[in-house]
Chain A
């Protein structure tokens, strides 16, 4: 291949290549190193290491993992320091263009790179949903941002997005940015949530909204955006149980800034282009208990696999992906003894891993569809119940984790399993 202006194709080799240098990529890299891989390359298109962490200046990171609460930048600092001590190669401002037979084609200011990798870990993170995901009608003025972009403006670049702010969506990023704006002197007029409950963690509702008397409009949605150049107003309205707008409940709010905190979508264009199977509920690849995709030697972790609640749980899984990528690179991975599917049943949106290829204790993560009180989590195959766990409460904002031993019998006899919630004992 010849591209004008590029002097040469740079050929590199790696045991494990990791795409994305955020918390998942860092954890996977360290774990790959600990498990024997020698030559590890971590690629990121940004000019810094740590992904989203440097802009998440609030605390609450690492509580489960280390026992103490850190801020995002501190958590990143801890991992970057360890990674640098371990001789892991970082390639910043490097964009992956394609992967052909596990050769990564990437570009940076030095030229076009070809990185022949024994195994690859995807840790590309996620993207924010935009106005077009909820199709709000109205004008297209300036002053409309996603919450994460506003967070980067305020916390990294010293730019205030506006003065009078409405936030749509009560995800954690939206709640945290509400408090941050208040701290910086903005007038936060409210957080609008279409569901009857907040989608962020309860601790963020208390610490970010209640503490500063920021109103949370539950069962509300935004129905119009107005503004010639800059945003001038939004109209919100109450919705009924079916999600339809209640006529007469419309309320016009004058504001200059609208922030969207509508949720996150795993970034998987690259996986998709390789024909890797994606799960339509998680938006991430279908993986087995090794976090391996259906493309042998390509693993997936972090928010590009599923959107995690906390970095702590994300890291635990990313380390497993890194370990297995390392074992694969050294030819030490176990041969699969079969394959069974794990299916989400009643009340369950998704379960990870979606496939199991060998017997042993598996750590599952799942997300429920709606909040509930006491309920039983069950695993069945055909009609026989294999496992039962009592949950005291469930909430879609809180991932459910549990361990279950997959027997040799299940794998050998191709007994697919289903995980569901049951009010009955």
Chain B
């Protein structure tokens, strides 16, 4: 099934409106981009859109009740809420180190969830 997808490019602030013709497995046509990076972005966005995911995880006995976290790699868009569900269930004991791996292979994505802050123990 071929269809046209309109994508707003987010590589730079110009925000080109790019039209991608795709069947879901490959891309037939990309128009509207002003640069190469936009071409790459539109291709990925049409075939396998991903996003860096940031959230927070509950901390036990910490100076703060939460530690901010990020995904080690961009997460496939359709898995974002599955990953968030696992993040919500998780609790971690203080102290939490900067860069500490808090969840490994989250929601079977081969992606880890990493602390972006350090939280000392009370």
Contact = CB atoms under 8 A, between A and B. Distances in A.
Interface of A: 54, 57-59, 69, 71-74, 77, 154-158, 183, 201-203, 205-207, 210-211, 392-393, 395, 397-398
Given A155-B56, A156-B66, A211-B51, 12 more contacts: A54-B68, A57-B55, A77-B98, A77-B117, A77-B118, A158-B56, A158-B58, A158-B66, A203-B15, A205-B8, A211-B77, A393-B14
B52 interface: yes
In the complex, the 10 A-B pairs of residues with the closest C-beta atoms, listed nearest first: A202-B15, A57-B68, A203-B10, A73-B117, A158-B65, A71-B116, A73-B116, A74-B116, A59-B52, A206-B8
Contact of B54 (A58, A77, A156, A211): A58
B84 interface: yes
B70 interface: yes
Contacts of B55: 57, 183
Contacts of B77: 211
Contacts, number: 64
B52 A392 contact: no
11 contacts: A57-B69, A59-B70, A71-B54, A71-B68, A73-B68, A73-B116, A74-B98, A183-B84, A203-B10, A203-B13, A211-B51
A309 B84 CA distance: 28
A72 B70 CA distance: 11
Contacts of B58: 158
B100 to A, nearest CB: 13
A368 to B, nearest CB: 13
B13 A395 contact: yes
B68 A155 contact: yes
B49 to A, nearest CB: 9
Contacts of A74: 98, 116-117
A31 B13 CA distance: 29
Nearest to B98: A77
Interface of B: 8, 10, 13-15, 51-52, 54-56, 58, 64-66, 68-70, 77, 84, 98, 116-118
Contact of B13 (A72, A201, A207): A201
B51 A155 contact: no
Contacts of B51: 207, 211
B10 A207 contact: yes
Contact of B10 (A202, A395, A397): A202
A201 B12 CA distance: 10
A238 to B, nearest CB: 23
Contacts of B65: 157-158
Given A158-B65, A183-B84, A57 B10 contact: no
A205 B10 CA distance: 9
A68 to B, nearest CB: 11
Contacts of A158: 56, 58, 65-66
Nearest to B8: A206
A393 B58 CA distance: 44
Contacts of A206: 8, 10, 15
A58 B52 CA distance: 9
Contacts of A69: 52
A206 B6 CA distance: 12
Contacts of B14: 392-393
Nearest to B52: A59
